Amino acid sequence: MEITVLSRRRCREFMSPERRQEDLKNGEFSLISINDPGDPPLLDFECPNLLTLFFHDIEYDMKDLNGGDLILFTEEQAKQIVDFLGRIPKDRDLVVHCFAGISRSGK
């Protein structure tokens, strides 16, 4: 399995051709899409080869500038990732993205 880590912008460019979206739907590769809560998902469809998650890039409970709660990565989300990875055939490539392609995506 080859793993490619991208920023949200680069992943949007990677996925922009209609063919790429069809490749994802047909199982040519898998995608973990990590987004900020409140942002629209990168892709507007669901399929078995796509895992979409929402959490902030933080390490402990924090508030935003307006006093609202920021959302931590949860144990349930970790389980979703493990389950998702367990379903990917060993010869299928994986693309992972977050906003900057650095911390939440694991680069």
What pLDDT shows up at residue 103?
72
At which residue do the structure tokens 């990590």 appear?
A: 34
Q: Are 88 and 94 in contact (CB under 8 A)?
A: yes
Among 94, 71, 99, which Cα is nearest to 81's? 94
CA 26 – CA 34 distance, rounded (Å)? 21
Q: What is the DSSP letter of 90?
A: T
Residue pLDDT, tens place only, 69-100? 788 889 999 999 999 999 999 999 999 998 87
Which one is predicted more confidently, 23 or 63? 23
pTM of full prediction above 0.95: no
At which residue do the structure tokens 């992943």 appear?
A: 11
What pLDDT shows up at residue 87?
94
